[in-house]
Amino acid sequence: MSAKRLGTTLSYKELAMRVHLVNPSHLSFGMAVITPRWLYVLAGATPRSFGDPWITDETLAPFDFSQIEPGDIVGIGIHTGNALRGYEVGRMARKHGAHVVFGGIHATLFPDEALELGGAHAVVKGDGDLIWAIVLADCVNGAPKRIYEGGKVQGADLLPARWDLLPRESYMWASVQTIRGCPKHCSFCSVWRTDGQQPRPRTSDAVIREIVELRRMGFRFIALADDNFYPVTLEDLATAERRKDRQRLDELHAMRDERFELMAQLAKLPKDMVFYTQITMEAAEDDAFLAAMQKANIKGALVGVESVTAEGLKSIYKNFNVSGAALVSRLQAFRNYGIYVLGSFIFGLPTDKPETFEATSALAQEAGVTFAQFVMLTPFPGTLDFVSWEKSMAQDDTRIDGIPLTRHWLIPQAVRPKVYIAHPEMSADEIRQRTQAVWDTFYSFRLVWARSRCVKSLRARLAFVLISKLYRQMYANTGIATDSARHTRSARRARWLAKAARRLFVATPIPELQMPAGLHEHADPKRLAVRVVT
């Protein structure tokens, strides 16, 4: 099948079929912090002959099923957290006569579930960038396959997003991906198993083109939504050196050079731009890398600290992190280069004790972590933790609403437990309450105001307070609380805060902004055509 055929022989039918893309969510806030990138990438992968896809991000507003015409195609992307709502959307869309196609990490892991429970006609496993046009063509021909293998698309072929379709007044930050995959193998994480351990960087030209487009629209805060922005550590280089593995060393250097090249390009963009990314803590030892990040205006990084104890880190295969005083100094190293850390911590590890909560809270403050998230250990599908937990649950016949615990994402939100892995010392409720208390302390007004000194103007401090409170309302109260009144209150507060906060993040659009010297406005069109040839 070729791009030419897609564009000519199918266009009549294509015109009659509308493509809908839905990001499911059981909570709508009317405003979101970060753009759900996949929606706009898949819009970019939709051949123009279908017209512009109709995009619904349910974190803004619920999907309006009345807009579906029989024969339309509804694409739904799910991760484990929103799978249940995704299945509801899928079944309803099918009832309205649509072709229903699922994709995303969860559908990749459980394609049969989407087919059985989500009303799916088809499921795309892996990356949708290249296969989506083929799926659409099969729907047009009335013969979608049950399963499509999208595979792991090489970085140079990952598609840019259709930002021209974005309702820009609904988001505070835009998101651009620069690399996919992560070479680590943390036991609680599925990224290395679904996106692969071989990092796949996009070309810096493709990344910069998207960022310029976003700045033209008025976005100056951009999340570099990568699995791991730092794919080559100094330790990786030293190991290859010790083994005298010339080929590996060359590969590593090429990837590292590519990161520096990207950061050099970012540094040429308007100075009011602020980037934020996700990175492993090892970067703290790499002064050259941190200095390049600083020049590139990368001012924030999510760092997976996970545990403040050595035993905790060992239990999740994250020995490459450090603990105690060394951890404090590593986290502070980011600050020395003007990079503010969002520390991510996990509670409920078998090695945790009641005093671990207090110790974590104290360490986060001592290390000068600017934002923090405290999540409870959850066995997410696709992770090593899930595999061993599922095995350990073989004899457990606990059911909630008829659903076994090992399929916890199918349990209705209102009755879904918050802790799954039995702890040797603490009850599930104790872990939940202690976790909530750490959120409460970290985001108390006194501490947030003190942390807001990291920015200078009053306006910036106000933005800092608002975004801190918003973050806590969206992620702590709605995720950990068990009573529905608290959920509703939190969602209401989050909506209000989001509206107020957005005004502080947007910038005046610069439609006349030029691409950096030497960069063409558009990618080579011949190359784009080749992408949909199978």
Binding site for ligand SF4 (CB under 6 A): 182, 184-186, 189, 191-192, 227-228, 280, 304
Nearer to ligand SF4, 319 or 336 (CB): 319
Residue type, 369: V
The CA distances from residue 344 to 207, 331, 472, in Å, are 26, 12, 13
End-to-end CA distance of the chain: 6
Q: Which is nearer to ligand SF4, 304 or 312 (by Cβ)?
A: 304
- State which residue, 98 or 346, has the beta carbon closest to ligand SF4: 346
- As measured in angstroms, the least distance from the Cβ of 77 to ligand SF4 is 19
Least distance in angstroms from the C-beta of 292 to ligand SF4: 20
C-beta neighbour count of 300 within 10 angstroms = 20
- Between 267 and 375, name the residue whose CB sits nearer to ligand SF4: 375
CA dihedral 204, 207, 208, 211 (to 10 degrees): -160
Nearer to ligand SF4, 182 or 438 (CB): 182
| Shortest distance, position 36 Cβ to ligand SF4, whole Å | 19
Q: Partners of 151 in the beta sheet?
A: 126
Going by C-alpha positions, the residue among 280, 228, 273, 276 that lies closest to residue 255 is 228
Instruction: Compute the least distance from the CB of residue 335 to ligand SF4, in Å.
Output: 21
239 versus 441: smaller Cβ distance to ligand SF4: 239
- Specify the residue, 182 or 532, whose C-beta has the smaller distance to ligand SF4: 182
> Which lies closer to ligand SF4 via its Cβ, residue 63 or residue 276?
276
Q: Least distance (Å) from ligand SF4 to the CB of residue 197? A: 8
Q: Which residue, chain included where needed, has tokens 């024969």?
A: 71
**In angstroms, how far is CA 425 from the centroid of its own chain?**
33
Q: Could you tell me the smallest distance in angstroms from the CB atom of residue 493 to ligand SF4?
A: 30
Give the list of residues 6+ apart from residue 53 with CB closer than 8 angstroms, or none.
Answer: 18, 19, 20, 21, 42, 43, 46, 75, 165
Burial degree of 318 (CB within 10 A; 0-12, 13-18, 19+): buried
- Minimum separation from the CB atom of position 227 to ligand SF4 (A): 5
What span, in angstroms and rounded, lies between the C-alpha atoms of 236 and 248? Answer: 10
Residue 299 DSSP symbol: E
Query: How many whole angstroms separate alpha carbon 216 and alpha carbon 156?
Result: 24
**What is the identity of the amino acid at 378?**
T
User: Which residues on neighbouring strands pair with residue 276, listed in sequence order?
Assistant: 223, 300
CB of 315 to ligand SF4, least distance (A): 14
Residue with smaller CB distance to ligand SF4, 311 or 401: 311
Q: Which is nearer to ligand SF4, 163 or 347 (CB)?
A: 347
**Nearest Cα to Cα of residue 318 among 301, 303, 335, 332:** 303
Looking up tokens 């496993």 gives 125
Q: Tell the smallest beta-carbon distance from residue 141 to ligand SF4 (Å).
A: 39
Q: How far is the CB of 182 from ligand SF4 (least distance, A)?
A: 3
**Of 270, 269, 440, 466, which is closest to residue 357 (Cα–Cα)?**
440
- CA distance linking residue 480 with residue 416, whole number of Å: 11
Are 200 and 158 contacting, i.e. CB atoms less than 8 angstroms apart? yes
Reduced to 3 states (helix: H, G, I; strand: E, B; else coil), residue 453 is: helix
